[in-house]
Amino acid sequence: MARLSSADRRAVLVRAALRVIDRDGVYRATTRAIVAEAEMSLASFHYVFRSRDEMLGELFAFVVRREEEATLAALSSSVSIRQAVRSGLQAYFDLLAAHPEREQALQELIQYALRTPELAALPGAQYRRYVHSAQTMLEHGAELTGVRWAIPIEQLSGVLVAFTDGLTMSWLANRDDSAAAALMEFAADAIAAQSVPARSIPASDPPREQPQ
């Protein structure tokens, strides 16, 4: 393999870890399995990552970035905030349906981390990434469609993450596309109901005096 920068080497290893997880599950995604998949040496791995746990944190961030890119791209043609939310949810679901083993492995990893003191910070950090990504989508959708949110966006982002969690686990359990679509319709209605038309001048501002 040609000489790579540290950033490129990290990216190659993260993508290799994803392939191993997709194929073999999280418990077989050992450091040795990852470097073999990446066609690198153990020394190369430890040159850019302090540990497998550090690499797993970057893997989570990589997955969330891909999901965020897909959802934001889906909003571009939206004409209403409901359509924007529904399109974003569909983009997320399409990724889930395309890579169910990956999402199952990531769920397993969160459960494993909750039982492992050395990984105690990982689940919280991951959910903060999810909420930040949801907030980015809601902000972008509101800007595109000319609305603002009637409740704090941090709170609404948490609700959206809870919807996607339920969507993920229920679909992984029963692979029922119709039930998933019904849940996304409900979620789009519920989230969109928290929007109001944007105003160019905030309601709290006093009216300007007209020149005489």
Q: What is the pLDDT of residue 161?
A: 96
Q: What is the pLDDT of residue 209?
A: 55
Helix axes 52-74, 6-24, angle to 10 degrees: 90
Name the stretches of the chain with pLDDT < 50.
Answer: 1, 200-201, 203-205
**Of the candidates 34, 63, 35, which has an alpha carbon nearest to the alpha carbon of residue 122?**
63
CATH T-level topology, domain 51-196:
Tetracycline Repressor; domain 2 (1.10.357)
CA 206 to chain centre: 41
Q: What is the pLDDT of residue 126?
A: 87
Q: What is the pLDDT of residue 200?
A: 47
pLDDT in tens, 53-79: 888 888 888 888 888 999 999 998 889
Q: Identify the three-state secondary structure at position 29.
A: coil
How open is the CA angle 39-43-47, to the nearest 5 degrees? Answer: 105
Q: Identify the three-state secondary structure at position 195.
A: strand
Q: What is the pLDDT of residue 54?
A: 85
- In the chain, domain spans: 1-49, 51-196
Domain 1-49 class in CATH: mainly alpha
Distances (CA, A) of 17 to 59, 126, 155, 158: 8, 17, 33, 28
114 contacts 123 by C-beta, under 8 angstroms = yes
| Structure-token pair, residue 187 | 């979620």
Residue type for 8, please?
D
Classify each residue of 114-130 as buried b or exposed e, where b means 16 or more C-beta atoms within 10 Å of its C-beta: eeeeebeebbeebeebb
Q: What is the pLDDT of residue 203?
A: 47
